[in-house]
Structure 1
Amino acid sequence: MIILLKLLLAHLIGDFGLQFKKWVDHKRKYRLKSGYLYLHVAIHAVATLLLLWPEISRNLLYLWIPAIVLVTHFMIDAGKLMLRKSSSKNASSWDTAREQILFFADQFLHVLVIFGIWFWVDGGAMVQISGIVSQQNLLLLLCLFFLTQPAAIIIKILIAGWLPKNESKEKKTLANAGRYIGILERLFVFGFVVSGNWSGIGFLLAAKSVFRFGDLKEKEGIKLTEYILIGTLLSFGLAMLVSILYLKVRISL
């Protein structure tokens, strides 16, 4: 496990701690011709080498790990640069979505390489991973996933008949903001209940009331206010119900 933690730390240092906006902009513009690309991957290799030096000093065969990190990081970053736009000016919603997809795909591939290295050098890695995939962890994953998109769809269907017709297409809000706010609030509620911090739910509800309902008083939209209130209470209630069921079922596992 120590090797995995060191590899992840080296990745965070190289990709976030020691990579600056100037470098990112230069790489986006010049792509494979940017010297910052090669400096960036070199930093990853050096960070990996320094953090793994105690293991390397005991076994020189571990020297191949920084080399693998160097080569794979260059290949992944080069592929991302070739797929992204050279300039972020006048970016459309699709361009923004593509940047998000490329970012998470890039990070996923880097982490996948890190886990691959860990599996190769640590013979007990698979045993440790099998312990992670337990019934309790699968139950936790199931509950967390249910509280995201599935719960959002259920709540939307339940209150669909009460949506005021003149407010069905509100143009002054961020796209899908309400859906993501609902997902985040349910996950927060789940965390509060599971950790036994019920008072946190009251704080969360009060904070949402201030920010969400405060801008409705000027619209004289009583129906819209009631619609949002019903949705909020359903969201909180569903999250608390799932949380309590999780705690009950987890005990029996």
Structure 2
Amino acid sequence: MILFIKLFLAHLLGDFIWQPNSWVTDKESKKHQSIYLYLHVLLHGILAAILAGELSFIPYAVLIAVTHGIIDLIKLNFQKNKTKRTWFILDQIAHILVLIGVVLLYQNKTIIYFWQENNFWILITGILLITKPTSIFIKTIISIWAPESQNSHQDNSLIAAGNYIGILERLFVFGFILTGHFEAIGFLLGAKSIFRFGDLKEAKDRKLTEYVLIGTLISFGIAILAGLIVQALLLLP
């Protein structure tokens, strides 16, 4: 299990944390001709090799990098503006399945032996998951419902404030779950609702209200789920 956690952490770093938006834009426009596609693939291979921490894993890191590039190329060539959300989800599922397959292949084991203990890697991966990767996931999922009037209400907002608020609230929820303070989650959700009420009342836009509500519930839901999963993994013998 610990090898998978490390490789998943490498995936989060390579696909979300250390991949600038400029790389994504260039890849979408130039596809296989984009230099950033190959830098992206190389980054994944290097991260996988470093975090695995074993010289014998290098060929498998190369395998991860190559398959990552192939999966990304398929997505870049087949996705359209209307299907980006679907291809994003399929792309991430494919990458995770590759990581699972590589772990089982490297360890020469079946899925039965997949669980092992290492609290540090489990915790750090859970924390990283609910930051930028989850923000991108939520933005992709709810983009189909984004109201046209939303942009007009952002003129007086801090740059990327909503994104950072979402990350902070998920970190709080995650911490509350791990420390057993479930009641604090309700307090946090109530506090956010009070602060949001004035903006939504002023906007008088039902679609914007529903959009914010969907985003908030997905954000809290993912944070709670991540916290429960990490908590369960930490308790494994």
TM-score by length of 2: 0.52
Contact kept, 8 Å, 1:41 with 1:70, in 2: the verdict is yes
Q: 1:25: which partner in 2?
A: 25
- The answer to whether 1:201 aligns with 2:161 is no
Supply the distance in 2 between the matched residues of 1:36 and 1:171 (Cα, whole angstroms).
Answer: 32
CA RMSD between the two structures:
4.1
- Indicate the larger mover: 118-127 or 22-31: 118-127
Query: How far did 1:216 drift?
Result: 4.2
Q: 1:78: which partner in 2?
A: 73
- The answer to whether 1:101 aligns with 2:101 is no
Query: How far did 1:30 drift?
Result: 0.9
- The answer to whether 1:115 aligns with 2:100 is yes
Residues 172, 118 of structure 1: CA spacing in aligned structure 2 closer, same or farther, 3 A cutoff?
same
Query: How far did 1:111 drift?
Result: 0.9
Query: How far did 1:200 drift?
Result: 3.9
CA deviations over 1:13-37 (Å, ceiling 9, x no partner): 2212332222211111111111211
Contact kept, 8 Å, 1:7 with 1:48, in 2: the verdict is yes
Mark the runs of 5 or more structure 1 residues left unpaired by the alignment: 86-94, 132-169, 175-183, 229-234, 236-253
Q: 1:67: which partner in 2?
A: 62
CA deviations over 1:73-110 (Å, ceiling 9, x no partner): 1110100110234xxxxxxxxx3x52222222211111
Partner of 2:54: helix, strand, or coil?
Answer: helix
Q: 2:54: which partner in 1?
A: 55
Residues 114, 200 of structure 1: CA spacing in aligned structure 2 closer, same or farther, 3 A cutoff?
closer
Residues 210, 43 of structure 1: CA spacing in aligned structure 2 closer, same or farther, 3 A cutoff?
closer
Supply the distance in 2 between the matched residues of 1:47 and 1:171 (Cα, whole angstroms).
Answer: 40
Residues 64, 196 of structure 1: CA spacing in aligned structure 2 closer, same or farther, 3 A cutoff?
same
Contact kept, 8 Å, 2:104 with 2:114, in 1: the verdict is no
Partner of 2:46: helix, strand, or coil?
Answer: helix
Contact kept, 8 Å, 2:14 with 2:47, in 1: the verdict is yes
CA deviations over 1:109-139 (Å, ceiling 9, x no partner): 11110011112223556235589xxxxxxxx
Supply the distance in 1 between the matched residues of 2:50 and 2:114 (Cα, whole angstroms).
Answer: 26
Partner of 2:197: helix, strand, or coil?
Answer: helix
Identity across the alignment (%): 28
CA deviations over 1:39-94 (Å, ceiling 9, x no partner): 21112112222233x422xxx4x332022112211110100110234xxxxxxxxx
Q: 2:14: which partner in 1?
A: 14
Mark the runs of 5 or more structure 2 residues left unpaired by the alignment: 117-146, 152-168, 211-216, 218-237
Supply the distance in 1 between the matched residues of 2:182 and 2:67 (Cα, whole angstroms).
Answer: 43
Residues 171, 99 of structure 1: CA spacing in aligned structure 2 closer, same or farther, 3 A cutoff?
closer
Query: How far did 1:206 drift?
Result: 4.1
Residues 211, 115 of structure 1: CA spacing in aligned structure 2 closer, same or farther, 3 A cutoff?
same
Moved over 4 A (4+): 128-131, 170-174, 213-219
The one of the two structures with greater contact order (alpha-carbon pairs below 8 A, sep at least 6) is: 2
Supply the distance in 1 between the matched residues of 2:183 and 2:150 (Cα, whole angstroms).
Answer: 30
TM-score by length of 1: 0.50
Residues 50, 28 of structure 1: CA spacing in aligned structure 2 closer, same or farther, 3 A cutoff?
same
Partner of 2:19: helix, strand, or coil?
Answer: coil
Supply the distance in 2 between the matched residues of 1:51 and 1:80 (Cα, whole angstroms).
Answer: 26
